[in-house]
Each structure stands twice: as structure tokens, then as C-alpha cells.
Amino acid sequence: MHPAKISVIGSGYAGLVNAVGFAHLENKVICVDIDQKKIDLINKGIPPIYEEGLEENLKDALKKGNIKATTDISRSVMETDITFIAVGTPSNDDGSIDLKYIKKVSEDLGNILKKKDRYHTITVKSTVVPGTTEDIVAKTIESVSGKKRGKDFGLAMSPEFLREGKAMDDFLKPDRVVIGEHDKKSGDILYALNKLLTDNIIRTDIKTAEMIKYTSNAFLATKISFTNEIGNICKKLEIDVYDVMKGVGMDFRISPYFLSAGCGFGGSCFPKDVKALIAKSKSIGYEPELLESVIKVNKSQPKMMIYLAKKHLENLKDKKITLLGLAFKPGTDDIREAPAIIIIEELLKVGAKITVYDPQAMGNIKAIFSDRITYAPTKKDAIAASDAIMIVTEWDEFRDEKLYSQKLVIDGRKTLNKRTTKNYEGICW
Ligand SMILES: NC(=O)c1ccc[n+]([C@@H]2O[C@H](COP(=O)([O-])OP(=O)(O)OC[C@H]3O[C@@H](n4cnc5c(N)ncnc54)[C@H](O)[C@@H]3O)[C@@H](O)[C@H]2O)c1
């Protein structure tokens, strides 16, 4: 069994980290993507995304011959025994899950498995609403290939819990691994693959595994929106919500994590997954009011930054506003659903002159706003040209109070100490 031969379809954040992680464990891994540019970069040892430790591990795996990348899905599946599906599952306009990439890969896999005479295990890693793996992925593969799940091919769903910014670490030291298995053989294969990483392996049915992922993300998103709402109340009462949550989080039933108020959550997972769960609930006749509120609070939270800027500067037209931090959190270049995007859009609406700086995410934000905003080469340049500075992502390099030389700072992430920073406004403290 070890080393296992693995193909990973989709070489984005989730797929590439898994591919490099399994290669690091001395398995033989093939990364597959439709994007030739990504494939070329991976084969050169350059990850197309930024994640701490990813580049070193990728280079090491390439040197040992444990990983390669290709656009040829057919050969990759033929040459391996296990395939992970890690393509994107974005939102449709109504928030429901868009399964076009999943469906396409399922068709491809059906065509390939038709010609393969060996048993092959298919595992969905992408986040998919309950029922997708069995009703869409497996059914499509069966109807295209004429083969049967459990007999000719194995079927499992193992949700991905990695945190962007800590993804490599999370892969190597997961809290738990969830294996949703259609058949024991597939479950055993995945168990063997993961047992090197943790003893906390939960084996369950496929629908439950799919739901565990949505429930985890919905719960974490709820903690954040809850804390932001308490933070907004605290701000009006002139109480520091961080002091409050310190006292609250010591209750072991609550835990101190995800109680940090700020300008809202973003990223490729929380907003998309909560919206997909809402849409799925509605489609089966249940109105998820709590989850709707989680999204509502999160949409209005970045606008608190504008409200606070107006409190100090009144009219923001032609005012020079600097955003420090664009990525949805430190340690990544990912700006998907980042609060920075809402803040920039709101500032553009009121005619502010916007300068931005982020150590990793400038290219990604430029792809959205092009010449409508100014991109500063350094944080010092960004700060120099401003009437107000908004800290939107808590990169460590923004923590030096001396940088701001008494300019107005609106801190969306508790990056600075409000007691020692002059001319300071915290979003919820
Ligand atoms: N990003 C995360 O931190 C994270 C964490 C947990 C779960 N997930 C889940 O993992 C899945 C992937 O997310 P991501 O952030 O890695 O997405 P991503 O958009 O970064 O990567 C998806 C990749 O799939 C490729 N792709 C699309 N169609 C393909 C096809 N037919 N064949 C081969 N490759 C194809 C795309 O080119 C892209 O490179 C999603 O369901 C997401 O919810 C992501």
C-alpha cells in the first residue's frame, strides 16, 4: 500500500497542499489541472499560490521524484490507484453550490474508468453539499463508465479542513480526518493513507462527512458574526470587546478561539459554504434564520470601517484613504470574499482616493480594481499618502505604531494597542 499512487484533480489551494503533503509522506503523486500555467509552475517547483512551507516541500518532493504535474487527467488516473477530486465548488448567484467543475470531472472519470480494468478509489475532497458525492459524482461515473461503485471502483468523501495561511501545517498535523465511505475497502485505503498523520480518524457514511464540513464552517462563521455583533454593541457602550471575550472564552464550553471581533470574515470557504448550506436548507423546505443572520452581520461589518472614517473626516469625497492589508487573512494572497473588496467598493462609491498595500495580495486585487485605485510599492509609501489608514488584514508588519506618525488609524483587526497609539479608532473597541 505504501507508497500509494495518488492523483489529485485540481491544483488550487486544497488540491496542491494535499498533493504536496501526500508526496512529502513519500507517496507518488500526480497533480492534475486544466490550467497549463499552474502545471508548468508546479513542475518548476514554484507553487502558484503562497503558503508557508509549500515551496520547500514541493521542491523537495520534485527532487525525490515523488510528485509531478500534468493536464493529462486520463494518464494520471490510469497510472494511479486513488484519485482525489479537489476542484472548486463556487457559489451560484443565489448562493447555491455551483457543481459544474465537479460534474465535468465526474464525466472525465467515467470515461477513463470505462477503460481501466483495475479497481480505483475515487475520493471527493472538494466541499460539496450532502448528497453530491453519491447522487452526482458516483451516478455520473456509473452511467458514463458502466461500472459499479463498491465493486469496480471505490467511493469516499473526505472533507478538507485546512486553514489558508497554515495549510501545510494543518495537512501534516490535522485535528482530525473525516472519512465518509461508501464501501469498507475505500475507507480502509483512506485510513491507511491518513493514519500517519493522526489517530483522530472518524469513519462515517458519505452524507455525514459532507455535512460535517458544512457544520464546522457554519459554526465557526457563526462564532465570528456573533462576536462582531457583541463588538458593535460594546463599541457603543465604550467597552473593549476583546476584554469581554477574554472573560467569555475561558469557559471551556465556549473556548477562546474564533472570538476575535473585526471587519468580518472572508475567504474561499466561510461565505461560500454558509450560503450553500442556506440554499440547500431552503431547497428542502427549511428556513435557516440563524445562518441568514450570520451572513447579514458579516456583509455589514466591513461598512463599519467607512462609518468610523466618516466620524472623523465627515465627507470622504477626495479624501486619501489607505488600506493596509487586502488578503482575507494574514499568511495568504487569497482575496476571495475579502472584506477589503467591500471596503474599497464602498470608498469608491463615496469618491475617496484609495491607496492600497499588502505584502502578498496586490496582484490579485489589481485584477479586480485595475486603475481605479493606487497600488503603493511599500507600506511606508501607502501611509505617507493618506488622510486615514484602515488596517484590514493583521499582517505582523503593520504592528509597529511608529509607522503611522500620528495619522488617523482605523483598525479593523486589533493590530495596534489603542492605549498607546495616537489618533486611533478600533472597529469594536
Ligand atoms: N481553499 C481552502 O483553504 C479550502 C479549504 C477546505 C476546503 N476547500 C474546498 O476545496 C475545493 C477546492 O478549493 P480551492 O480553494 O483549492 O479552489 P481553487 O479554485 O484554488 O482550485 C481549483 C482548481 O481546480 C482546477 N480545475 C477546475 N476544473 C478542473 C478540471 N476539470 N480538471 C482539473 N482541474 C480543474 C482549477 O483550474 C483550479 O486550479 C473547494 O470545494 C473548496 O471549498 C478549500
133 CB burial (10 A radius; 0-12, 13-18, 19+): buried
Residue 162 to residue 125: CA distance in whole angstroms: 11
Write the residue with the smallest CA distance to atom 1 of ligand 1.
13
Q: What is the pLDDT of residue 385?
A: 81
269 is catalytic: yes
Residues with CB under 6 A from ligand 1: 9-15, 32-35, 38, 73, 86-89, 101, 104-105, 126-127, 160, 162, 164, 268-269
- Residue 184, SS3? helix
Nearest CA to ligand 1 atom 31: 105
Ligand 1 pocket mutation pick from 13, 18, 41, 277 by most atoms within 8 angstroms of CB: 13
Q: For ligand 1, atom 15, name the residue with the nearest CA.
A: 13
The atom number, within ligand 1, closest to the CA of 163 reads 3
- What confidence score (pLDDT) does residue 1 get? 67
Closest C-alpha residue for ligand 1 atom 41: 126
Query: Residue ranges of the chain with pLDDT lower than 50?
Result: none
H or E element that contains 353: strand 353-357
Cα(39) to ligand 1 centroid in Å equals: 14
- 177-181 and 153-157: which strand pairing? antiparallel
Give the pLDDT of residue 318.
Answer: 97
For a ligand 1 pocket test, name from 74, 89, 140, 268 the mutation site with the most ligand atoms within 8 angstroms of its C-beta: 268
Q: Which atom of ligand 1 is nearest to the CA of 14?
A: 16
Ligand 1 center–CA 31 separation, angstroms: 12
Atom of ligand 1 nearest to the CA of 15: 16
| CA 162–ligand 1 middle distance (angstroms) | 13
Instruction: Provide CB contacts within 8 A for 307, sequence distance 6+.
Output: none
Report the atom number in ligand 1 closest to the C-alpha of 108.
Answer: 31
Query: Which mutation among 33, 76, 213 tests ligand 1's pocket best, with the greatest number of atoms within 8 A of CB?
Result: 33
Burial 148-185 (b: 16+ CB within 10 A, else e): ebeebbbbbbbbbbbebbbbbebbbebeebbbbbbbeb
Cα of 151 vs centre of ligand 1, distance in Å, is 28
- Closest-CA residue to 380 (of 394, 362, 366, 359): 359
Which atom belonging to ligand 1 lies closest to the Cα atom of 128?
Answer: 41
Q: For ligand 1, atom 21, name the residue with the nearest CA.
A: 12
* C-alpha to C-alpha distance for 37 and 21, rounded to whole angstroms: 21
Give the span between the Cα atoms of 397 and 325, in whole angstroms.
Answer: 10
Q: What is the pLDDT of residue 161?
A: 97
* For residue 330, cis peptide bond before it (omega within 30 degrees of 0): no
The residue from 31, 234, 263, 269 that is catalytic is: 269
Tell which atom from ligand 1 comes closest to the C-alpha of 273: 43
Distance 85 CA to ligand 1 centre (A): 9
Judged by DSSP in three states, 390 sits in strand
